Amino acid sequence: MNKIIIAAIARNGVIGKSSGEMPWHVKEEFRHFKETTTGSPVIMGRKTFDTLGKPLKGRLNIVVSSVSPKEIPFEGMLYFSSLEAAIEYCEQEKYPKIFIIGGGSVYRQSIGIADEMILSYMKFDAEGEVLFPDFEKSSWIITNEVENEQFTVVYYSRKEGSE
Ligand SMILES: NC(=O)c1ccc[n+]([C@@H]2O[C@H](COP(=O)([O-])OP(=O)(O)OC[C@H]3O[C@@H](n4cnc5c(N)ncnc54)[C@H](OP(=O)(O)O)[C@@H]3O)[C@@H](O)[C@H]2O)c1
């Protein structure tokens, strides 16, 4: 099962505000995110789900939280108490690929185990406190780059044997 990180990163490394808000709204980038992830499970941190407010359509929404909710807020969603448990569930269900969609803390924990990354590099700086984690560039191969007016999408695959 391919574990794929997908994120949008401002030029200064910002991915969001600590209040939960996304500092920008770029329709084209959101369309790319939707087209790429639709049909596959998406795993996210509880704070990212709070920001979304409702599940993303056409995808199994999986939230990780140390607190199990008294009631699952929306039908069809799943909660897990660890990232490992969420990934293991998807492996058991034989999903060919899953997307890890943030936020900062979940990216930090998954960058060492992801097989691929699809990173949208926005062509502007943004205000915010949540950053995408630094990663070892030499552990990854760039397989494709797609240019858009306001962002460049870079596709990474982990080099065999790299951590
Ligand atoms: N630019 C992008 O592509 C992008 C994508 C997604 C999000 N964002 C931004 O990122 C920000 C949110 O990131 P964040 O780092 O503050 O929060 P987050 O990663 O979305 O959520 C953190 C929460 O997830 C739960 N969690 C994380 N790891 C866990 C684990 N191993 N086991 C159990 N629970 C775990 C905990 O929930 P509990 O506190 O309930 O235990 C933790 O407080 C927002 O500003 C959002 O807009 C940006």
> Over the stretch 25-61, which tens digit does the pLDDT of each residue have?
999 999 999 999 999 999 999 999 999 999 999 999 9
Give yes or no for residue 16 CB within 6 A of ligand 1: yes
pTM: 0.97
CA–centroid distance, 17 to ligand 1, in Å, is: 11
What residue owns the CA closest to ligand 1's atom 34?
A: 65
Banded pLDDT at 108 (limits 50, 70, 90): very high
Alpha helix segments (H runs only) across 5-63: 27-37, 46-52
The structural domains of the chain, ordered by start, are 2-150 (3.40.430.10)
Q: Determine what percent of the chain is predicted with pLDDT higher than 70.
A: 99
Ligand 1 in reach of 51 Cβ (< 6 A): yes
pLDDT band at 88 (very low <50, low <70, confident <90, very high): very high
Q: Is 14 in the pocket of ligand 1 (CB under 6 A)?
A: no
Q: How far apart are CA 116 and CA 155, in angstroms?
A: 7
